[in-house]
């Protein structure tokens, strides 16, 4: 997951750097057709670096907790105490909250450029 998205982000970073350099050097203007009006494009903002380590650490903790929960359920013959049921309900609510936030991020609400979505970045991280 992260290797593919990291490679895509690196490629986008290189493309953006090259395009901005060509804009600064006026390469696009030099090769444009002189018989047509040409408007020089604006430089793109740099592509941000992404860190998936916190997400991966959370996933590892979640998997470990799920294994412990399965082991505990086997020892109790599948019966839940009221305390365990309340904790499970709370965890379920937290999962829905995380999914909602992830959906908003994928839709660009929290500042991710729609350029990531156009280039398939979001699909590459799924």
Query: Against a cut of 0.75, is the pTM above it?
Result: no
Q: What integer pLDDT is reported at residue 106 of this predicted model?
A: 53
Tally of CB atoms within 10 A around 13: 14
102: in domain: yes
99: in domain: yes
Q: What integer pLDDT is reported at residue 97 of this predicted model?
A: 64
14: in domain: no
75: in domain: no
Tally of CB atoms within 10 A around 8: 19
Reduced to 3 states (helix: H, G, I; strand: E, B; else coil), residue 10 is helix
Q: What integer pLDDT is reported at residue 18 of this predicted model?
A: 94
- Residue-wise DSSP of 70-114: HHHHHHTTTPPPHHHHHHHHHHHHHHHHHHHHHHHHHTTTTS--H
Q: What integer pLDDT is reported at residue 125 of this predicted model?
A: 45
Q: List the pLDDT tens digit at each of the 126 positions of the chain.
A: 455 667 888 899 999 999 999 999 988 888 888 898 888 889 999 988 888 888 888 989 989 988 888 887 778 766 777 887 787 777 777 666 666 555 555 554 444 444 444 444 444 444
From 60, 42, 64, select the one nearest 52 (Cα to Cα).
60
121: in domain: yes
Q: How many residues does the chain have?
A: 126
Which domain range does residue 94 map to? Answer: 81-126
Tell me how many domains the chain contains: 1
């Amino acid at each position: 997951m992260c290797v593919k998205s990291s490679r895509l982000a690196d490629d986008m970073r290189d493309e953006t750097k090259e395009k901005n350099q060509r804009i600064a050097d006026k390469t696009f203007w030099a090769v444009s057709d002189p018989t047509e009006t040409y408007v020089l494009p604006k430089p793109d903002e740099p592509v941000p670096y992404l860190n998936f380590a916190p997400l991966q650490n959370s996933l590892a903790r979640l998997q470990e907790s799920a294994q412990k929960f399965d082991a505990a359920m086997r020892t109790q013959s599948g019966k839940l105490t009221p305390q365990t049921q309340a904790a499970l309900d709370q965890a379920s609510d937290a999962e829905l909250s995380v999914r909602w936030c992830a959906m908003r991020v994928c839709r660009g609400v929290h500042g991710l450029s729609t350029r990531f979505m156009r280039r398939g970045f979001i699909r590459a991280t799924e």
